[in-house]
Chains A and B, each alone.
Chain A
Amino acid sequence: MADSPPPWRLPLSPEGYIPEDIRKTMMDGFLTSFEDFEAYEKLVLMIVEDVQPCGQIEWLWVKDVTDSTWDIFRARRAKAACLAMGRKDAIRALKKAYDGDRLTVSIATLEEGEDEVDDIFMSLEPGSGPNEYDGGGLHSFPIMLERFGLTENSLQDIAYNNNLPKMEAFDRLIDNATARRDSVLREVDRRREVGRRMRQAVQAVDEAIDAEFE
């Protein structure tokens, strides 16, 4: 079992407090103990500060918008992790095909091969320095790609293609959460100015999430 969540430290609303029942609703049962409570708190604070909710219904809307945004973030992160594994699988398959092609495969080279796959994978990930991972496989990788008429971008395409049903399901999860959030925002729009502020808050969060995945 993971550690229990830290005590709720947030947030002071513009009125000076979050109503106790809302505070309980915010934390009760939505987050799992594996997740980052501080990041969730931060998200709540961002939305609360912009929206300044008044009354029970507005607080429940804030909760809806926060949770849908969190759902979107969860699904996008899981999709990105799944694609990363897919890219690594593609490198592994490519290397296996290339080694088989050259008829040099042996138990020893297969064992070394996994390290090379790691090196190649890490060198291609965003933020990796060009010489950070300098295994032998790095030098032969462009030759491998060329041998099969591929480019580095092909790895992402192969990963997507090999995980198509999952990718589609992730996209549906993201679309569903976005639709839930939009539905709440439309409802808020019907009510008062809070709708405009909530949209602004959500836009700022979306831009931050987009920046993380770009």
Chain B
Amino acid sequence: MTTSDRKRSANRANAARSTGPRTQAGKTRASRNALRHGLNLPLPLDEYGEELSALTERLQGGIPAKAADAKQAAIAQLQLERVRRIKALVLLEGAERAREADVASAAGSDAGDEISLALADRLARLLTLDGYERKALSRRKKAFRALYS
């Protein structure tokens, strides 16, 4: 038996033993393994139902034929607002940490305010969130165009 054959059968044996979580709680937990912020998922309608209905109504402007387009535009708008709120939270966390650590005064007045420090500290996360904001804006643009047409 070659090494690769041995490896292959060991892999198969291990895979057969590992069948993932068995309890419902475990399965639910595992289903969220790849979830970090859920920004790629559809808007949770149970959470946003009321806001969604109100915004849809306003965008629809009383024209029944526009109901579906208005709903798509409202969903896209709420997704956009969700990304912006997360960005603000990232900054807020960073600013609070900077304030607790008193980084600004330790570094001198030239270090800038807490938000500048938070921004410098969280550039990678903010750039990632920028990508989501761009996608949300693009979805909304399409929805607005449909609404206007």
Q: Encode contact with B along A67-89: 1 for CB under 8 Å, 0 otherwise.
A: 10000001101101110110010
Name the B residues within 8 Å of A84 (CB-CB). Answer: 110-112
Q: Is the CB of A176 within 8 A of B134?
A: yes
User: Are B119 and A187 neighbours in the complex by a CB distance under 8 Å?
Assistant: no
A88 pairs with B108, CB closer than 8 A: yes
Query: With contacts A21-B58, A78-B120 known, is A121 near B81, CB below 8 A?
Result: no
In the complex, whether A33 has a CB less than 8 A from a CB of chain B is yes
0/1 interface trace, chain B 113-125, chain A, CB 8 Å (1 if under)? 1111111100110
Within the complex, what minimum Cβ distance (angstroms) separates B5 from chain A? 46
In the bound complex, do residue A75 and residue B81 qualify as a contact, i.e. CB atoms below 8 Å apart? Answer: no
Closest to A77 in B: B116
A180 contact set on B, CB distance < 8 A:
133-134, 137
Q: Which of chain A's residues 1-50 have a Cβ closer than 8 Å to chain B?
A: 1-2, 21, 25, 28-35
Contact B124 A169 (CB under 8 A): yes
Residue pair B110, A56 in contact (C-beta under 8 Å): no
Give the CA-CA distance A1 to B59 in the complex, in Å: 36
Interface residues in chain B, defined as those with a beta carbon under 8 Å from any beta carbon in chain A: 54-55, 58-59, 61, 77, 81, 84-85, 88, 91-92, 95-96, 99, 107-108, 110-120, 123-124, 126-127, 130, 133-134, 137, 141, 144, 147-148
CB<8 Å pairs between A and B, sample of 10: A30-B85, A31-B88, A32-B92, A32-B115, A64-B137, A78-B120, A81-B120, A82-B112, A88-B110, A173-B126
